[in-house]
Structure formats: structure tokens, C-alpha cells
A and B are shown apart, each in its own frame.
Chain A
Amino acid sequence: MLLNPGILALLLGCSLAFAMLLYAAWLGLRILSRWDPQSSSEAQLQLERRTYLVSTLTNYAFSFEILSGLLFIFTLEDIHSLFIGAMCATGTLNANQIGWLVLLIKIVLFFTAAIWVHFNRLDQRTEDTPLVRPKYLGLLLLTPLVGLDLLLQYSYFTGLQPEIITSCCGSLFTLGSDSVASELAGLPVEPTMLTFFLAAGIFLILLVLCLSSKLALFRYLLFVASLGLFFVSLAAIVSFISLYIYQMPTHHCPFDMLQANYGFIGYPLYGGLFIGCLYGLLPGLAQLLPKTLSLHIEIEKTERRWLLRAFFAIVIFLLIVAGPILLGPFILLSY
């Protein structure tokens, strides 16, 4: 099963990214142990130079890790035709249960890596780079996760056997069984819809408050609201958004919408959700960073951009969700 172009690209890319991160983490460890911003010795100068290497290596590696999630989904969609019974990525994921774990790690990596890259950029704009220690600690924590991602991906793809008869999304995301997926599919539509739009509304209100005020509390609340919106949205996609997209009251699959039959609508939908939530998390997290003056100025400068990005991404997401509900011919709730 390994000899598929997408799988080869994924494994090659992830191995290279992991190798770069290992080297960066090793450099980071050396920098952490001897870092002394007050000193102006030759050794400290060398360390400062090495921070550029660490940043560059990590930036590239994390950028790939972020994109690899997309490539992973692409690959799953592409190879589903090799499995009997699979009709979309769900079938490919079911063919070897480790797949779901890989997907989970990819989602976690998307957020953590993106946060790292953004804070690194903040740090590099300042003169005194106050984030070196937390940054490298984060790097040391994330490197094993990337390694785990690589390992699981490898065992997932090698474990795929084309003879396996897998189940399609129709049987996984169905009502009346005991799995999490069926719990999600079975969520009552009306309350879920209400919760979803309430969460989105709270998110947008907090976003506007953050744009107009400098209060830290709003940013923390926005952080919580982003997390909430993310999980509520994922549940809502399985519970009712998918129904409207497929215009079918029984089809709950969160992956089919990534296919050509539905105009690839899933990509902007998930893209909007992920990007919106990411930029919603950033301002709150930035409040937790050490309060040096240089960093404070940089945060002030970039925060507005983060908030605007979050706003537009979530609005796009909501438009895609609301479009078929308001304008489509499919009516799920009777009047």
C-alpha cells in the first residue's frame, strides 16, 4: 500500500520535517541550557545566530505539518476506491483504525504548529527576543508529537490491506449504534442548530469587543469561545450541516462534502472554521506571554490583523453553512 504517490509524498515530507525538527530541537536544547540575554560574550552571539537557524528550520517543518493535514485528507479521498465498501475518506480511515488517531494528531498539530509559527514571528520582530525560552520549550514538546505523527502514519499506511472490507460513512454516521459518531449524528437538530448559531454569535460579538477594546478579559473569553465554537461546529457538521449540504435527511458524513460531487464545498467550509478558530485563540494566548515592552508593542500591532482574519474566516464559514439552510430547497425543520 505504500507505493501511492500521495502516501510517498506524505511519508517523505513528514520524515524530512521530523528530521529538521530533531536537529532544531537539539540546537534548541543547547541554546536553552546556555541562554543568557544579558551576556555579550562570543558564545551568546553564536547562540543568537543559531536561533535564526532553529526558527527557519522549525518554520519550514511546521508549515509542512500544517499543509500535510490537507494532503492526508486528499490522499484518503483518493485511495478510497481501493477498498471494498469505502465510498469516501471515512472508509479509508475505517480500513485501519490508526487512521482516526493520525487525523486527530494532525488536527492538534495544525493548531499548535500554527500558534508556534505566529509567536515565533512576533518574537523575531522584537530586538530582545523575550520568547526564546517558552518557544524552545514548545518546540521540545512538539517534536515528539511530530515523531508520533510520522510513526502512526507509517503504521497506518503499511497496515492498509486492499482486501479488507471496510464500512462506509453511511454505516458509521448512522443513528442507533453506540459509537461517538452515531451519538453526534443523533444529536437533535433544533437544539444543535440553536447552540451552533449561539456559539457563532458569541464568538463574533467577542471578536467585535476585542477589536474595540483593549481589555484582556475579552481576549480570554474569545479564546474560550473559539475552543467552544470549534467543537460545537464539528458536532454541528455531523449533526445537521451535512444534511443540508447533501440535501438528504439521513446522510451525516463529514467527509463526503470534500468530494467533487458536492463542488469541494468542504474545503472552504473546514478552512474557514480552522483558520477562524486559530486566529480566535491567538489574542488570548498572547496575553499569557511575558509582558516585556517590545513584545507588547508587537502584539498591539499584529493583534488587529489576527482578529480581522478570524472575523472573515468565520463569516465565510457561516455563509457556507447558512446558504443551503436559508436558500436551499431542502427543508429539515417543519414550520
Chain B
Amino acid sequence: MSARLKILEHALASMARRKQKNFAIIAVYTLTVATLASILFLTQALRNEAANVLLGAPDLVVQRLLAGHHDLIPKQYAEQIAKLPGVGKVTPRVWGYYYDSLKKVNFTLLGVNDASEPPLLAGHLPTSGRQCALGRGIADTYGVEIGDSLVLVDSKNRTLLYEITGLFSHQSSLLTNDLILLPEAELRRFFALPDSQASDLAVQVYNEQEVSTLAKKIKHQLPDTRPIGKMEILHTYDTVFNWRSGIMLTIFSSALIAFCILAWDKATGISAEEKREIGILKAIGWETSDVLLLKFWEGLAVSLSSFLLGTIIAYLHIFFFGAGVLGPVIQGWSVLFPKFDLTPAIDLYQIFALAGLTIIPYIACTVIPSWKNAVTDPDSVMRS
């Protein structure tokens, strides 16, 4: 065992002697690992985030389709759905989008009519006509606080003033960033919505396993509706993020190939001095297997330091600097996308996948050149 460790010591010492060459390799290697790791970490964090957000979503959302697009749903549909066995509460929801031409951003307006206070809200929910509660993003956009007023232009082009009674905290940003809560009656007036209709229906299902059956029943009884299950949304998120990260990985595979060429080139073109070193080692009694072990240690040292460095850089990039470089590509598009901090989530699987994607190509590229160096004859090297 000690002989092996001695060879490791020698490998590290000889690498330290050729700082420049090894530094170049490690720098490029680290960059490659950091890029791939960023993609993996960001995807995983977003998947977790989506799953956490959807935890509180209704089990089943029923929309009405008219001519192939989303339309208002009559309230009596709710009564019909509530009669199905296994269905809990059916809540008609009223909501809509609002485009602010001044700030050039989109908001979501949601009607509330029950008095229960949601968590993470400072202040209280709007109770009477001209009151509202806001998400952080909107408050920051206008620079308003609780007690100030918000100006909105309704569908009849009247300018309306709303008193801000509540403000959501940063923690709920992913959900509430672009959200404005208004009393339901006020929202109906605002959008000029008929009283007998709602935007969609939130359906509570007692048994999670019955969701798909209930969706089928609803679709059968009310053929102009579109039921969407919570699990369906989760699957879609998972698939989309998986697919996006896969596409990114495929694009960056060209970078990986470039890196492999560099590694191959560096491993093949060793200097005369290095050749001499191997020649001398063999002349003083090192065997080919010892030299191969030396090369193995060198490769391992380069791989592990780059892998560790790259992973740390990716971690910092994603979880401390908000994925500034990659975020827009994987998150998706939006006019007002919340700035949120991702929860660090790394598992062994990602580390393994990452190692498979980076270390193995590197080893595959360097094994033949290092064998070629290891079997050179001492006399032929020293004579040249």
C-alpha cells in the first residue's frame, strides 16, 4: 500500500513541476463540469420547486372549452360535479390577466370571497370594494407599501383607485409575485364578468387515486369541459424540465467533445522532458505497471480536483447567484418572472450522472496516450 501512496506522491510532485500545462487542463475541465453541473442542479431545483408549489394546488381543475380555447364556465356545472361520488368541495374561481401598459408587465388578478387569511401575508385580505392585496413583485414595480393606493384601469377604461391592505412576503414569490387579490364581486365588476359564470372550477377529490376516473366522468357528463389533474401538471413539469435539460446537455456535448480533443492532445503531446523523466524512472527500475499507475494517479488528481471545483462553482452559480447565466433558458419565458432563491437540492444521482458525463470521456481519451508513454524504452528515450 505504501508503494502505491509513494507513487501518488511522485505523481503530485511531478504535476506541480508542470504547473502551466496542468492548470490549463484543470481550468477547461472545471469549466466543462461547471456548465454541465449547472444544468443538472438547476433542473433538479426547478423540479423540486414545481412539486412544492403544486402541493397546495387543487386536485382537479375543470375548465370549459369553447371552440378549442379556454372559456368561462357556468356555475351550475359546479353543482353537477359536486354530485359525483368522491368529490369534496367544488369552488368556482374567478381570475384574469391584466396588462399594465405603463410598466409593460402582466399581472394576475384573482377574486377572493372567504375571510380565511392565507399564510405569508402581511396585513389582511381585501374586504370591501376598493381594497386589494399584492404580491411583492408588483409592490416593488410601483414602489408601494401597505396603506398606499394602486391605480388600475378596468375593462370600461375607468381609472380605479385601490387601497393596499395586504402584502405577500418574499417566500411566496414563486406563487404570488405577479398576483393582485380583489374581492370577487369587485373583480367581476372590473372585468365585466357575468355573475353566473366563473373562470374555472377547483375540485377537491377525497381519494387521490380516483382523480383520473373522476376526470373521465366529468368529461363524459360535461363534454365541453377540460379536467386537469394535479398529477398531470406535475408530470408535465417533470417531462418539460427533463427534456429541457437534456436538450441543453446535448448542445453542450459539443463543448464536451472539444474538451476531449484537448485532453487527448495534451496527453499525446508530452514534452521531451517528460519523456526523459519516464525513461529515467524505468531505467532505475520502475515497471510499466508502475508508470501506468503514476499516470492513473495523475488523471485521478486532475479529474477529482476539476470535478470538485466545477461542482462547487455550479452550486454557487445556481443557489447563490440565482442561475444568472442559465436561468432564462431552462425556466422559460415570462414578462414578469419572479426573482426567487432556489432551494439547494443535490442528490447522489446527479453527482453520478455528472461523473458519468465528464470523467469517463476524459479517461477514455487519455488511456491510450498514457500507455504509449508508459511502454517507451528507457534507452531510446535517453538517446534521443
Contacts and interface: CB of A to CB of B under 8 A. Distances in A.
A79 B235 CA distance: 10
Q: Is the interface of A mostly helix, strand, loop or mixed?
A: helix
Contacts of A9: 352-357
B249 interface: yes
B246 A124 contact: no
B249 A3 contact: yes
B349 A6 contact: yes
Nearest to B236: A162
Contacts of B363: 60
B247 A3 contact: yes
B238 interface: yes
A248 interface: no
A81 B233 CA distance: 12
A78 B238 CA distance: 11
Interface size on B, as a range, is 35 or more
Contacts of B374: 52
A82 interface: yes
B289 interface: yes
Interface string A57-94: 10010001001101100110111011010000000000
B363 to A, nearest CB: 6
A4 B246 contact: yes
A5 B367 contact: no
B288 A13 contact: no
Interface in A6-59: 6, 8-10, 12-13, 16-17, 19-20, 49, 52-53, 56-57
Contacts, number: 97
A2 interface: yes
Q: Is the interface of B mostly helix, strand, loop or mixed?
A: helix
A20 B292 contact: no
Interface in B218-257: 231, 234-235, 238-239, 242-243, 245-247, 249-250
Interface residues of A, number: 35
A3 B243 contact: yes
A20 B364 contact: yes
B349 A75 contact: yes
A194 B41 CA distance: 46
Nearest to B372: A53
A53 B348 CA distance: 32
Contacts of A8: 246, 249-250, 353, 357
Interface string B344-368: 0000111011111100110110011
Interface string B96-112: 00000000000000000
Contact of A162 (B239, B357, B367): B239
A82 B348 contact: no
A57 B234 CA distance: 43
Given A52-B374, A56-B367, A82-B235, A5 B288 contact: no
Nearest to A79: B242
Given A6-B353, A13-B356, A16-B364, A74 B242 contact: no
A12 B357 contact: yes
B205 interface: no
Contact of B245 (A5, A77, A79): A5
A84 B234 CA distance: 11
Given A4-B246, A77-B349, A124-B289, A49 B367 contact: no
A68 B247 CA distance: 23
Given A20-B367, A60-B363, A71-B353, A2 B242 contact: no
Nearest to A63: B363
A20 B356 CA distance: 15
A52 B349 contact: no
A4 B40 CA distance: 10
A247 B246 CA distance: 38
Given A6-B349, A8-B250, 5 more contacts: A5-B350, A6-B352, A10-B356, A49-B375, A68-B356
Q: Which 4 A-B pairs have the closest CB atoms?
A: A3-B246, A9-B356, A74-B349, A49-B375
9 contacts: A8-B357, A17-B360, A49-B288, A52-B292, A57-B368, A68-B356, A71-B352, A71-B353, A82-B239
